[in-house]
């Protein structure tokens, strides 16, 4: 295999690939279609950025000079009894629907998720009382140090609130295996419908470009509650505003830049800090080059990450 046989685009505008519809020019981006191609790229390219659905990422409007590998075309999911095997690029709704079709419960919470299995495991994503680590059995990973494919059981994954061992930068998820429970299809469908209805009523759909929750919940509290009580729903910056139904979401109302988005996130952060002396931690990751203002804001918002 050669790198040139794998789909690649240079000087690629990544804006429309992100759920925020914010971004710039990426130097080079690859689209592997299977595990073999993905592993080959990981063995060949030094320090690539891996993205899936780009649903919790704010890409810089100034662009990104590195190489990106997108897993969106790695979308195989299979069912073996009550086991679900999914490649890292499988979208949450696709996994949820596949489980429903097989009469399996445990993936209902992902029906409205724009992200992929890779991103969901990376963040240990969850909603509506379910989290992905609940059903997780083991992962197929690429070890960046040993440069080989390894398998890791759940107890070695370091799962916590919005945390996993994948965030340490040693492993890249290739695929994962889950153990779900047999259930009545009508019950599964009802739960999926309730989850979709909740998201429709409370959270913005992707018709309003957004990147999901802006901040992580602090321990024993809700970021949305704190933001709401701090009065952030009235806040807006050029082309971006706080969602009027949920204070922990912001939407791109026009042609927002990454600086516009960061400015609003920083205003929200400061409102809660001044009201409650609580410093919220962003759930959205910033990727790419920064201008002076963005550099200053990121130093404040991501100081825990930068330590």
Catalytic residues: 162, 213, 283
Is 185 in a helix, a strand, or coil?
helix
Give the C-alpha distances (Å, rounded to integers) separating 205 from 156, 199, 233, 243: 35, 8, 17, 11
Measure the CA–CA gap between 247 and 272, rounded to whole angstroms: 11
Measure the CA–CA gap between 138 and 152, rounded to whole angstroms: 5
Facing residues of 51 across strands? 70
Measure the CA–CA gap between 36 and 262, rounded to whole angstroms: 37
Q: What is the DSSP letter of 52?
A: S
* Phi, psi values for residue 79, rounded to 5°: -115, 130
Please report the sign of the dihedral spanned by the C-alpha atoms of residue 76, residue 1, residue 138, residue 143. negative
- Quick one: three-class SS letters along 88-128? CCCEHHHHHHHHHHCCEECCHHHHHCCCEHHHHHHHCCEEC
Give the C-alpha distances (Å, rounded to integers) separating 219 from 56, 160, 205, 210: 21, 12, 27, 24
């Amino acid at each position: 295999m050669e790198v040139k046989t794998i789909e690649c685009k240079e000087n690629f505008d990544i804006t429309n690939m992100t759920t925020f519809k914010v971004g710039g020019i990426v130097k080079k981006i690859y689209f592997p279609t299977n595990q073999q191609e993905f592993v080959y790229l990981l063995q060949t390219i030094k320090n690539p950025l891996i993205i899936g659905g780009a649903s919790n990422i704010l890409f810089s409007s100034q662009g990104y000079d590195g190489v990106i590998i997108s897993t969106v075309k790695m979308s195989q999911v299979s069912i073996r009894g009550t086991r679900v095997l999914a490649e890292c690029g499988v979208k949450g709704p696709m996994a949820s629907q596949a489980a429903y079709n097989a009469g399996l419960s445990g993936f209902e919470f992902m029906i409205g998720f724009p992200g992929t299995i890779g991103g969901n495991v990376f963040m240990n994503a969850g909603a509506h009382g379910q989290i992905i680590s609940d059903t997780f059995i083991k992962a197929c990973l690429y070890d960046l140090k040993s440069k080989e494919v390894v398998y890791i059981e759940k107890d070695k994954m370091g799962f916590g609130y919005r945390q996993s061992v994948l965030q340490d930068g040693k492993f890249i998820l290739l695929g994962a295996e889950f153990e779900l429970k047999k259930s009545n299809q009508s019950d599964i469908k009802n739960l999926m419908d309730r989850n979709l209805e909740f998201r429709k009523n409370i959270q913005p759909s992707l018709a309003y470009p957004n990147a999901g929750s802006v901040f992580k919940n602090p321990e024993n509290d809700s970021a949305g509650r704190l933001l709401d009580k701090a009065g952030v729903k009235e806040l807006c910056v050029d082309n971006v505003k706080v969602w009027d139904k949920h204070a922990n979401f912001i939407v791109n109302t026009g042609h927002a830049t990454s600086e516009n988005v960061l400015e609003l996130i920083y205003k929200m952060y400061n409102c809660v800090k001044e009201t409650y002396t609580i410093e919220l931690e962003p759930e959205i990751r910033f990727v790419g080059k920064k201008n002076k203002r963005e550099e200053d804001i990121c130093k404040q918002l991501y100081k825990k990450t930068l330590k």
